[in-house]
Amino acid sequence: MRRILENALRHSGLDLAEVLHAANGMEGLAALEQSATENQPLDLILCDVHMPEMNGLDFLLEKQLRNLAPGVPVVMITADATDPQVLDAVAAGAHGTISKPFTLQRIKTCVESLLPPVAPPPSAMGDAQP
């Protein structure tokens, strides 16, 4: 799903600098630990609910337990909108959910609303000066 999702995000017009991939919750935790070690903060975490080895809800809970990527918004993605784990994830602090299948507009709107605002380029900042 992760390559498909990255493709959807790029085709939606979002400017993605770098995307980290993880195949399951365990790999996701390792990626968060590595980004913390290398002091490379993340902007957003998109997490499937259904994953092998460690599912999305357990990933979210473990991430919080270990205080990994604090304050970074997490969006849960699911093909099963009736799954109680989706509500559990929101109750545990997930910032949003996206149901599969999704439109490009849906995922763009969700992601844009959670990404930090992009600083305007210097020339634009200069234009804004009185």
Partner 1 sequence: MMAGPCTDTRWIEQLDGVVADVFNIMLQQSCEVVEDAADAAEIGIAAKILLSGAIEAQCLVEFPQATAKKLTDAFLGSQDDWEDALIEDAIGELCNMIAGGWKSALGATASASGLSVPAISRARAPDRNPPNGCGLRMRRTYSFRNSPFTVSLAIREHIEKMNQPGP
Which residues are at the interface with partner 1 (CB under 8 A)? 1, 3-4, 7, 10-11, 50-52, 78-84, 100-103
By beta-carbon proximity to partner 1, the closer residue of 91 and 118 is: 91
By beta-carbon proximity to partner 1, the closer residue of 52 and 117 is: 52
CB distance 69 to 38 below 8 Å: no
- In whole angstroms, the minimum distance from the beta carbon of 48 to partner 1 comes to 9
- In whole angstroms, the minimum distance from the beta carbon of 83 to partner 1 comes to 7
CA dihedral 90, 1, 115, 106 (to 10 degrees): -80
Which run of H or of E encompasses 45? strand 45-48
Spell out the residues 6+ positions from residue 5 whose beta carbon is closer than 8 angstroms to its own.
46, 77, 107
Nearest to 50 by CA among 78, 31, 92: 78
Angle between helix axes 25-37 and 56-65 (nearest 10 degrees) is 30
By beta-carbon proximity to partner 1, the closer residue of 31 and 104 is: 104
- In whole angstroms, the minimum distance from the beta carbon of 125 to partner 1 comes to 34
Tell me the CA end-to-end span of the chain in Å, nearest whole number: 48
- In whole angstroms, the minimum distance from the beta carbon of 7 to partner 1 comes to 5
- In whole angstroms, the minimum distance from the beta carbon of 32 to partner 1 comes to 21
By beta-carbon proximity to partner 1, the closer residue of 24 and 64 is: 24
